Amino acid sequence: MKAILATVFCLLAPLAWAGGETPSNPDAEVYFVNLSDGDTVTSPVTVVFGLRGMGVAPAGTEKENTGHHHLLIDRPPLGQGEDGADELAYGLPADDNHLHFGGGQTEVTLELAPGTHTLQLVLGDADHVPHATPIVSEVITITVE
Ligand SMILES: [Cu+2]
């Protein structure tokens, strides 16, 4: 039984960390256009999403090398945290820490409380699942005055 379980985990683990099933352009990049790690800003904060090497398409669009933006706020980097592996395999939740831009939007203006906040951009496929390989930005920390 132990041997069988070990085999199952060996098969599943690489898949879970590889993202979903939609292939990405592994050279694609998602990035913050107007913010850098360590910036101090005032609320409301406009965040502009940059993407090169792939295209933006609304959620539900099954088109090669496209996806829609997600903004992760104040949570561990994609793939980490309690639900990290599940998010890579099955998709991102939608809540205050996970904003979806399923209309194909490329910027947002946020009300953020004073203090420090982390932000990370993640591209998701038609079903909100990160691609294989996942296209993610660096995690930046900003301070809201
Ligand atoms: Cu989404």
Residue-wise pLDDT for 17-67, tens only, equals 557 899 999 999 999 999 999 999 999 999 999 999 999 999 999 999 999
In DSSP terms, which residues pair with 117 in a beta bridge? 142
What is the value of pTM for the model shown? 0.87
Q: State in Å: Cα 70 to ligand 1 middle.
A: 6
Count CA within 13 A, CB hemisphere, residue 46.
Answer: 6
Q: State in Å: Cα 82 to ligand 1 middle.
A: 19
Q: State in Å: Cα 122 to ligand 1 middle.
A: 9
CB 140 within 8 A of CB 68: no
- Strand 40-41, strand 140-144: pairing: parallel
pLDDT for 20 equals 86
The pLDDT-based confidence of 13 (bands split at 50, 70, 90) is very low
Asked whether the predicted pLDDT for residue 124 surpasses 60, the reply is: yes
